[in-house]
């Protein structure tokens, strides 16, 4: 286990600030894309449930046929 005193002695390399900012922007962009995909998935699930319900209602609803 690494203690606080050992952590203080460690050097942690970081990319230059402009690269850090580029990474942050990329992550934000990818998070927005993920959020949008989640919304689309939820909408697709709702649409699928609605379609299934409509199909089942149509399948089990008897319709009167009139012959002339």
Q: 17-43: per-residue pLDDT in tens?
A: 999 999 999 999 999 999 999 999 999
**In the chain, domain spans:** 15-56
Q: Which residues contact 23 (CB under 8 A, 6 or more apart)?
A: 15
pLDDT at 1 over 90: no
Question: Rounded to whole angstroms, how far apart are CA atoms 12 and 27?
Answer: 21
Instruction: Note the pTM of the prediction, 2 decimals.
Output: 0.62
Q: What distance in Å separates the CA atoms of residue 31 and residue 23, rounded to the nearest whole number?
A: 12
């Amino acid at each position: 286990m690494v203690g606080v005193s050992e952590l203080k002695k460690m050097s942690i390399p970081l990319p230059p600030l402009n690269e850090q900012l580029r990474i942050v922007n990329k992550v934000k962009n990818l998070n927005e894309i993920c959020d949008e995909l989640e919304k689309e998935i939820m909408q697709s699930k709702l649409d699928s449930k609605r379609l299934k319900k409509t199909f089942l209602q149509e399948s089990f609803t008897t319709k009167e046929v009139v012959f002339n």
